[in-house]
Chain A
Amino acid sequence: MMDRSYKELLKLRRFPHTWCPGCGIGSVLRNVAMGMKDLGWDYKNTVAVSGIGCSGRMSGYMNLDAIHTPHGRALTAAETIKTVRPDLNVIVLSGDGDLASIGGNHLLHTSRRNADITVFCNDNEIYGLTGGQAGPTTPKGTKTLTSSRGEPYSPIRLGRLLTQQAPYFYARTSVYHLNHFKTCIREALLWKGFSFVDIISDCIELNGRRLGFKTAHQMFKWFDERFHIVEGEKDHLQEDELGIAKAMTEEAPSPVEKVEVKPEIPVKDLKPFTLRELQEFDGTEGKPIYIAYKGKIYDISASPLFQGEKRMRCHIAGKDLTKDLDIAPHGEDLIFKFPLVGKIEG
């Protein structure tokens, strides 16, 4: 006998729900609820956030404190709630149009900030609630209400977008591949940080029928033809693969340029120059470029900004630049990396 206790997480008093028969969203809602139940997530420790659209109605059917945001803003709301209340689990239940089109900017930045939220994206490749217009994930060539000759543009590749820099968790699954779907949900819920489950789902009434499918089941078989499951840990997924791509740690930070610490020469041992002698070293006729700073003289011939020129912006070679540097936008450490060659006499 199947465990039906996950139904505690659904607002059954509000059923029947708003979705069409055969829609994939019911499966998404139910399996997410099952995954949450397994982990003991409920109204005391979890908040659900949705955007707008058919998928956006999901949070309203969950027996939790739920937020139904304006179109596209689910991720920002979820991130903020997690920031203010880190003790709560935050899940996002929304659609591909909401998350990837109108909310695309937030998707870029919430994932970049690695907000600790779990996103379930009902990816049905169409704007269903408004009647079947082309969306950001609609495959090229698909006929919709706004692309009667076939969608002219390639779809956004969420997998590539979300796995561009670690840490990331991106899973692609489908409502047809049920066991795989359940595994993805569980792993995503357990992931610390931003996790995104791209659920290939069907919209039979406002997309499927126009494409020639008679039933939702025919669409599921089409998913089975288009996609195949890849097992094991992956860094990235191909466009026809269902699986989990994840990377835990950030890429190793670029090695910091090591600054050699030169032993300091005592001032008394430095070669003395008068200001007039200093003026000779202005880089002309193959001579090195010297400048004075706080009584000491540095050879800055190696500075790329001074090469072959007597002056670099407002700084003149062969001069005491102490006053210039005090008002310069850069610090004095810029000078200290050059070799010390002498001191100002007197």
Chain B
Amino acid sequence: MKRLVSGNEGIFQGAIRAGASYFAGYPISPTSEILQQAALYSEENPEFRFLQAEDEIAAAIATISASLAGAKAFTATSGPGFTLMQEALGWGHVVEAPCVFVNSMRVGPSTGMPTQPAQSDLLQIKAGSAGDYYPIAFYPNSVEECFRLTITAFNVAEESLSPVILLADAFLSHLYEMVDIESIKLEVVPRSKEPLGSGQRLFTGTVHDKMGNVKTNDPGIYREWLRELRDRHDRVAEKYPLFEYLPCKNSQTLLIAFGITSRVISSLKDRFSIFRPIRIYPVLEKKLKEVTQSYRHIIVVEGSDGQFASWVECAICRKVMKVPCLGGDFKLKSIQNQIEECLKREET
């Protein structure tokens, strides 16, 4: 049955459908509702465990630890909390803990503008923790997609044996739409990792060989580990090349946008072609190259000062134009004006 569902609830229900049995979090706008729903749900379903942690550091560590203990686990936060979670995110990649981190973005840095939407944590998802690692991140743009992509994120986590990031924004978190959640059928990947208490393994953030022996002065072992991580993530990411492409005949301009921005500019689809990456990272390099080559102008419309635009430029080896929506201002009018200015500049 169709009913009004918020983005946050879509995410929570998606996690439950994916088989999540552990949530740890710390109150922060705009994802506090996920924390509250998890608390209520755990009261009625004792097999679902819940922790309101003392801070986001603990919430993230608990999420990774729950995954190691055998539970499908997730946490939800916003930019400032996500900054505190970076330590655990790096750890999760080394100890191979499948789980999901939800980051609903708001204007930053620091406390920023609570709670205005933004899309400026892209660099943070890619490189917020120390060292080299290759996270996989998805970004829905509707409540139904929040539900679907949360399940996808859990599946990708199980396949890649790593934390997966589900992005959203303050707008999407609090967006209510009519969705029939029960009718959506999606495949769920089960847990394959052996639970704790079945061996003599060492789960360590220190570089180690396959036996779990710590090896801190062998570059060969480190390189092999990193290559394996990259190959595994590339292989899994390739299975999920999610995007949406709305070509517009006669248009020589391609707009690239995602999340809330793609919803705002969807009314421009009769004037411009629109490409919406859903898998935000790794960047859809092949697809972007293929799509962009037939356009004279490429404009990236996003809620940051060109974070995704710089990734697109790297991927397609070509300059793109930027329309940043800053300070929570995602009004169609101001986006349109900026697009016109860009095109005018290009003509002269």
Contact = CB atoms under 8 A, between A and B. Distances in A.
Contact of B196 (A59, A81, A105, A109): A81
B177 interface: no
Contacts of B212: 60
Interface string A78-97: 11110111011000000000
A239 interface: no
Interface string A162-183: 0000000000000000000000
B53 to A, nearest CB: 7
Nearest to A62: B200
Contacts of B204: 60, 66-68
A246 interface: no
A106 B199 CA distance: 28
Nearest to B213: A14
Interface in A50-91: 57, 59-60, 63-70, 73, 76-81, 83-85, 87-88
A119 to B, nearest CB: 15
A105 B49 contact: no
A80 B91 CA distance: 16
Interface in A31-64: 43-47, 57, 59-60, 63-64
Nearest to A109: B54
Nearest to A72: B57
Contact of B24 (A65, A80, A85): A80
Interface in B185-224: 195-206, 212-214
Contacts of B306: none
Contacts of B205: 68-70
Contacts of B64: 77
B226 interface: no
B51 interface: yes
B58 A45 contact: no
B66 A80 contact: yes
B22 interface: yes
A70 B91 contact: yes
Given A84-B70, A106-B54, A79 B62 contact: yes
Interface in B64-123: 64-66, 68-71, 87-88, 90-91, 95
A11 B66 contact: no
A60 B90 CA distance: 20
Interface residues of A, number: 34
Interface string A278-314: 0000000000000000000000000000000000000
Contacts of A83: 22, 49, 51, 66
A265 B214 CA distance: 79
Contacts of A80: 22, 24, 51, 61-62, 65-66, 69
B231 interface: no
B197 A84 contact: no
Given A66-B202, A68-B202, A88 B61 contact: no
Nearest to A102: B57
Query: Which bracket fits the contact residues of B?
Result: 35 or more
B340 interface: no
Contact of A66 (B57, B198, B201): B201
Contacts of B213: 14
Given A68-B205, A80-B65, A109-B54, A11 B200 contact: yes
B55 interface: yes
B17 to A, nearest CB: 20
A109 B53 CA distance: 8
B203 to A, nearest CB: 5
A328 interface: no
A104 to B, nearest CB: 10
A20 interface: no
B25 to A, nearest CB: 13
B55 A105 contact: yes
A65 B87 CA distance: 22
B197 A69 contact: no
Given A14-B213, A73-B58, A106-B54, A88 B203 contact: no
B197 A45 contact: yes
A73 B90 CA distance: 14
B91 A65 contact: no
A85 B67 CA distance: 11
A44 B202 contact: no
Contacts of B214: 57, 60
Most A CB within 10 A of own CB, among B24, B66, B204: B204
Interface of A: 11, 14, 43-47, 57, 59-60, 63-70, 73, 76-81, 83-85, 87-88, 105-106, 108-109
11 contacts: A14-B213, A63-B200, A65-B198, A65-B199, A68-B206, A69-B61, A70-B87, A77-B65, A81-B196, A85-B69, A106-B54
User: Which 3 pairs from chain A and chain B are nearest by CB?
Assistant: A68-B204, A84-B69, A80-B65
